[in-house]
Amino acid sequence: MLIDVAISGDRNVIKKEAEKILKYKNLTIEIQRMWNAKTKVIPVIIGATGTISKSFRKYVSNIPGKHEARKYRKHPYWTLHTYFGKYLCKSAIDSTLDLTI
């Protein structure tokens, strides 16, 4: 899972999602080829005033855990920084522990 989190101008949310998917397309193919692992790009883009795309819920539902779009829309900067930062750090630690056991 490749998660790219960003806050964009409200008019550019859909454009940014497409950019993020295209940006990581080659990396996704390379990871699948080298490691024989399923890889998915998950762009989590929220506009500066809380604007989200129609596909936002679909992308966020691929991330383990409980998510509410309403929560992200109220305070986009704070939410993205704290929640996804904590989740990603925890996931990295958990996967490291899994590899060493």
- How many angstroms separate the first and last alpha carbons of the chain? 21
Question: Using one digit for the tens of pLDDT, what is the confidence trace for 3-52?
Answer: 888 888 888 999 999 999 999 999 999 999 999 988 899 998 888 788 88
- Which amino acid, 26? N
> Once rounded to an integer, what is the mean pLDDT over residues 92-99?
38
Confirm if 79 and 71 have CB atoms less than 8 A apart: yes
Identify the band that residue 63 occupies on the pLDDT scale cut at 50, 70 and 90: confident
Confirm if 15 and 6 have CB atoms less than 8 A apart: no
Output phi, psi for 48, to 5 deg: -60, -30
Which pLDDT belongs to residue 93?
39
Which pLDDT belongs to residue 94?
43
Exposed, middle or buried: residue 72 (CB in 10 Å: 0-12, 13-18, 19+)?
Answer: buried
Cβ neighbors of 23 (< 8 A, separation 6 or more) are 4
Q: Which of 31, 25, 63, 26 is nearest to 44 (CA)?
A: 63
